Amino acid sequence: MSRDHPIIVGNWKMNKSLEEAKSFVEGLVPKLEESDVVLLAVPFTLIKPSVDASAGSVLKIGAQNMNDASKGAFTGEVAALMLKEVGASFVLLGHSERRKYFGESNEFIHKKLLRAFKDRIDPILCIGETLDEREKGHTEGVLDSQLAEALEGVKNLRKLKIAYEPVWAIGTGETATPDIAQEAHHFIRQWLNGKYGEEVSSKLLLLYGGSVTEETCKTLLGEEDIDGLLIGGASLSLDSFVKIVHDSRYAKRDVS
Ligand code: PGA
């Protein structure tokens, strides 16, 4: 995956039955082109059926969470190798809903990230500020500490992707303007530049997430540091998701 072609990631959250998932994937696959980079983060129970329904296509299926341990007495948890065994190729880590409703700390997310690297499942690290933090002017400070704590001691970023998801824009219908999103993405890329150097930071894929729709996808992807989109609500409708995938092919990309 390179920054030249936008990456579109759907996040179904806790939605869809087995039948709904199968018919969605079966409807999506014929609409994809060889060069598309499209991923779907689905509930655990839908990973295997979605993987089966997308066999032979470019669509990649992943999970929305995992535990940091390799196995053991952790009732209700799922390990990276279990996800891989059923065909998941990536995992979302640190989504704001995990942080907010399930008390996930930066430290825990850091441990999960290390586990993902060790067990070779590609992580998408989610970060972003709340409305209160933004209004108090703390956005960059929050991003700085989320990045610093998640990546503490990490020397090799491997296939890490980072999703900037301002909490105030998730599921609210309030998308960050392209300027606001670009500003945060630029900050993240500069931060990575400072820690890992230009060679690494200029190649790392940065995704924007938060109420992305068919109407907003193209302009967001036109921004210099926005390499892809993480889409919740609009990924539940096959028509909307296909439209976003389609339009993303024509987004103006000027990555130097
Ligand atoms: P949304 O969700 O598109 O419904 O705002 C995005 C996300 O939480 O990943």
104 is catalytic: no
- Which position among 97, 165, 185, 223 bears the catalytic label? 165
Q: Which tokens is 62 given?
A: 């992943």
Separation between Cα atoms, residue 187 and residue 124, nearest integer Å: 18
Q: Looking at residue 254, what is its pLDDT?
A: 55
Q: Could you tell me if 213 and 174 are in contact, meaning their C-beta atoms sit under 8 angstroms apart?
A: no
pTM of the shown model? 0.96
CATH annotation of 7-248: 3.20.20.70
pLDDT level of residue 253 (50, 70, 90 thresholds): low
**79 phi and psi angles, rounded to 5 deg:** -95, 160
Residue 98 is inside which H or E element, if any? helix 96-102
Residue 174's nearest CA partner among 221, 222, 133, 233 is 233
Q: What's the DSSP call for residue 128?
A: -
186 is catalytic: no
> Is 255 a residue whose pLDDT tops 60?
no
Between strands 90-93 and 60-63, the pairing is parallel
What pLDDT, in 10s, does the model give residues 71-84?
999 999 999 999 99
Q: How many angstroms separate the alpha carbon of residue 162 from the centre of ligand 1?
A: 14
Residue 67's nearest CA partner among 114, 101, 127, 125 is 114
Domain spans of the chain? 7-248
- Which position among 95, 110, 133, 185 bears the catalytic label? 95
Return the best residue to mutate from 170, 174, 217, 244 for the ligand 1 pocket (most ligand atoms within 8 A of CB): 170
